Chains A and B, each alone.
Chain A
Amino acid sequence: MLSRVADSCYWLSRYIERAETNSRLLHVNMNLMLDLEDADHDSVRAHWQPVLASLEDQELFNTLYDHVDGDSVMEFVTFEKKNPHSIISSISFARENARTVREQISSEMWEHLNKLYLYLRSERARADYRSTPHDFYRSIIDGSHLFQGITDATMTHGEGWDFIQAGKFLERADSTSRVLDVKYHILLPQGERVGGSVDLTQWLAVLKSCSALEAYLKIRVGHVTAWDVAEFLILHPTFPRSIRFSVDNMDRAIHRISGSGISGFHNEAERLSGQLRANIDYATIESVFEVGLHQYLDRTQLRLIEIADKLSKTYCEWLDESADAA
């Protein structure tokens, strides 16, 4: 497969996953907002600030908006074209990448993504966003799920598909770590204690952001604690949005690409990905908290960045690399 094509498959998949994550974050935060009593300036700000923090777009936001509130953050993360991580930018980039590999992906995949793109740019999307924001974000999340389903059902599960899987799971591992980290940035209001009702609501929101609430409650009936939620979202072996599950599947995809079996490594991307996978496979939630939850998540994110970089150097920019070396 052409290196450029592999790169585009990988990125189109990452961008769609990113749009989905952003939609979830906003959707859940908006819901939470409705529970907020006596919403004054400061509490609104405290409520939305963590979203910006988790997306690491604070600086750009400050140059575009005067103050942090629901409208400005939602606009910034949803429709702001100047924000390269906004939902509309992500879907545009995904589509641009898809366009360059149209002959490689199935027509159904392309048409679905194109429709989603046209919808987001339409007046109708704006109107839906204003009148029924819940349905609006749901439709983007559904759009991402539908794309994944169409991809699985209509595209040959070959190399291009493997790059799509690698991109999807890498982005998802990163997303889940960020959503979990949001909680780190939220300060409990004065007088609230850890394990109290506000704390509980916030942990529930984290679970909801990962569509994990129902799955979680089946396992930990009635118990919502930081410890248990973190364990679930980081270490659960089969929940499809846990970091472990995502890294597992990312690693499998990366190893399938070289065609050299799941054990061992044949390039840097495989080595780093295998290492991260083993690390998580053998971790306990005690060891995570020993490092510190925020530090652990931060470290995981850095490793994912490194893996992405090596993946690109191994398969997509290898020639430019050797040309530079020569």
Chain B
Amino acid sequence: MQGMFTDYEVGGFFDEMFDSAGKVRPHYAKLLARFADMDPAEFERKTVLAEHSYLNQGITFTVYSGDEGTERIFPFDLIPRIVAAKEWEHIERGLAQRLTALNMFLHDVYHEQHIIKEGIVPADIVHSAKHFRPEFMGFDVPKNIYIHVCGTDLIRDEKGEYLVLEDNGRCPSGVSYLLENRQAMKRVFPGLFAKYGVRPVDRYPQELLAVLRHIAPNDNPDPTIAVLSPGIFNSAYFEHSFLAREMGIEIVVGADLVVQNQRVYMKTTHGLKQVDVIYRRIDDDFLDPLVFRKDSVLGVPGLVDAYRAGNVALANSIGTGVADDKATYYYVPAMIKFYLGEDPILPNVETFLSAVDSDRKYILDNIANLVVKSANESGGYGMLIGPHATKEQIEKFRQAILADPRGYVAQPVISLSRSPSFCDGDIEGRHIDLRPYVLCGEKISIVPGGLTRVAMKKGSLVVNSSQGGGSKDTWVLDEEDDESPAPMQSQSQSQSSSIPV
């Protein structure tokens, strides 16, 4: 290893940049050549430069403490995560397969429930899922698409194999960071891109727009589309407004909308204007106080009624939470087999369901070595990392599992892959994951890459931004520039990023 990487240690983990012998992986070779020459001061300067541009653009999330909120930027690490073309091809096919199965599952559980009748998924798992919406049994969603935007979290184990950690099929966030990270990298390292053949990501907003147009009621060729946001106090507001701007559509809050005669309108300076498609970034619970939570001031009274009448389309559909429930997750490989007759291309992480008697016994016996997750929480909340937990924390979870077996799942601690990251003036390995954004409209499409999240704290396995995580730019390389051997057996030569559903 050379330059700034001289003292770098792989440390017994799967490292994205170096193999176990410390030799640089081929698709990182040019990056090493460029970065090795730099000194820490220059790196620091570039980091500050990037962070300033985030701050000036207001790419921030708000942390509330005391009487006023503080705006923070999402920490950004300058060393990109690079995905070789063949690896990406594998990921892409796996994600498309998975989302296809999840959408078929959602149609099924809200209609005939074949998968329950055939004994593949227990009825109880579906019906007791917190986000299952029995009110929508038998309802046909526009174009039969339930999840239009899916954020699937991938990790790599110690062998470098990509595994699915969880699916986010409700309102996954973070895509704006994927796009802004690329902008920041281009500003800070303009020269690198020309040499590297990095596949562009900036078409995402247009592809999302195409998905939203696709589901417009009555095949309206010129639909009015809006992003529905909880408002500027929401931590993801920047992203909502970013996407609206990039798509050239309105961003609305609940108070901007009104429902009359089962139609949704926005209040404009020249009267009411009908809205055909809503990309909502508000959870089901808050969408419509007449149907869901009565105390919601974020939603629109009558919205669900208009949706049922087919006068407005929603993305994502209502009730998709049953598919990204962590207990449902356990059954996704079986689901893929059941609906598609295929083996899953991207495996799950080994998972134990505390609702299953034998699994529960295993969990309770081995809790100190497992990661226990609440089935319904997201964002790194409601989670126990056994090896890092105190006796009290473990006992609390043990009681919670006994009290509510349906509410918990457990997984072995996976030593996530690491990537060199610039921390406190030095380059050290940090654990990372990857969240690609999978769009489902006329067909499934995925922008090359995703949001690579980094656990910036030394040794930490938690990458969520609410838990002190940062992010990196993610580069997927063009085929011809790819010097890396495929880490896994390639099953197809498809070069297209779009796979017909």
Contacts and interface: CB of A to CB of B under 8 A. Distances in A.
Contacts of B267: 2-4, 318-319
Contact of B253 (A4, A159, A257, A315): A4
B241 A2 contact: no
B438 interface: no
Interface stretch (B53-61, B134-142, B338-346): B53-61
Interface in A86-116: 96, 99-100, 102-103, 107, 110-111, 114-115
B269 A3 contact: yes
Contacts of B256: 2-4
Given A2-B252, A102-B245, A118-B56, A96 B266 contact: no
Nearest to A3: B267
Nearest to B258: A319
Nearest to A1: B269
B48 to A, nearest CB: 14
Interface string B230-268: 011000010001101100001111011010000000111
A2 B266 contact: yes
Nearest to A99: B232
B57 A111 contact: yes
Contact of A316 (B237, B242, B269): B269
- Of listed B55, B242, B251, B255, residue having the most chain A CB within 10 A: B251
Interface in A281-326: 315-316, 318-319
Range of interface residues on B (Cβ < 8 Å): 20 to 34
A236 to B, nearest CB: 32
Nearest to B270: A1
A269 B126 CA distance: 57
Main secondary structure of the interface of A (DSSP, over half): helix
A111 B56 contact: yes
Contacts of A111: 56-58
Nearest to B273: A2
A118 B58 CA distance: 10
Contact of A257 (B58, B231, B242, B269): B269
Contact of B241 (A3, A103, A159, A316): A103
Interface in A182-234: none
A6 interface: yes
Contacts of A114: 56-58
B146 to A, nearest CB: 27
Given A103-B241, A315-B269, A115 B56 contact: yes
B269 A103 contact: no
Interface hub of B56, B58, B231, B242 (most chain A Cβ within 10 A): B58
- Residue among B55, B58, B251, B269 with the most chain A CB within 10 A? B269
Contacts of B270: 1
A118 B268 contact: no
A121 B267 CA distance: 35
B268 A3 contact: yes
A120 to B, nearest CB: 14
Given A2-B256, A3-B256, A103 B268 contact: no
Given A2-B268, A3-B268, A316-B269, A103 B251 contact: yes
Interface residues of A, number: 23
B55 A100 contact: no
A314 to B, nearest CB: 8
Contacts of B231: 100
A100 B231 CA distance: 8
Contacts of B244: 103
A114 B242 CA distance: 15
B264 to A, nearest CB: 13
A259 to B, nearest CB: 9
Nearest to A102: B241
Contacts of B245: 102-103, 107
Given A3-B256, A103-B244, A159-B269, A96 B58 contact: no
A20 to B, nearest CB: 21
A2 B250 contact: yes
B241 A118 contact: no
Contacts of B251: 103
B269 A110 contact: no
B80 to A, nearest CB: 24
B255 A4 contact: yes
A248 B253 CA distance: 34
Nearest to A318: B267
B437 to A, nearest CB: 20
A8 B251 CA distance: 13
A227 B256 CA distance: 49
Contacts of B237: 99
A272 to B, nearest CB: 18
The residue in A1, A2, A319 that gathers the most chain B C-beta atoms within 10 A of its C-beta is A2
A103 B253 CA distance: 13
Output the residue of A3, A6, A159, A257 with the most chain B CB within 10 A: A3
Nearest to A323: B258
A100 B269 contact: no
A1 to B, nearest CB: 5
Contacts of B232: 96, 99-100
Interface string B58-102: 100000000000000000000000000000000000000000000
A114 B55 CA distance: 9
A2 B272 CA distance: 9
Nearest to A162: B269
Nearest to B257: A2
Contacts of B272: 319
Instruction: Point out which of B252, B258, B270, B272 has the most chain A C-beta atoms below 10 A from its C-beta.
Output: B270
B55 A118 contact: yes
Nearest to B271: A318
A6 B57 contact: no
Interface string B36-63: 0000000000000000000111100000
Nearest to B253: A4
A159 B241 CA distance: 19
A68 B265 CA distance: 53
A257 B270 CA distance: 9
Nearest to A110: B58
A111 B183 CA distance: 15
B268 A1 contact: yes
Contacts of A4: 253, 255-256, 267
A267 to B, nearest CB: 11
Contacts of A2: 250, 252, 256, 266-269
A96 B245 CA distance: 17
A115 B56 CA distance: 6
A319 B242 CA distance: 28
10 contacts: A4-B253, A6-B269, A103-B241, A103-B245, A103-B251, A110-B57, A111-B56, A159-B269, A257-B269, A319-B267
Q: 5 closest Cβ contacts across the A-B interface?
A: A103-B245, A103-B244, A315-B269, A102-B241, A3-B267
Interface of B: 55-58, 231-232, 237, 241-242, 244-245, 250-253, 255-256, 258, 266-270, 272
Given A1-B270, A100-B231, A319-B267, 14 more contacts: A2-B266, A3-B268, A3-B269, A4-B256, A96-B232, A99-B58, A99-B241, A102-B245, A103-B242, A103-B251, A107-B57, A110-B58, A115-B56, A318-B267
Interface of A: 1-6, 96, 99-100, 102-103, 107, 110-111, 114-115, 118, 159, 257, 315-316, 318-319
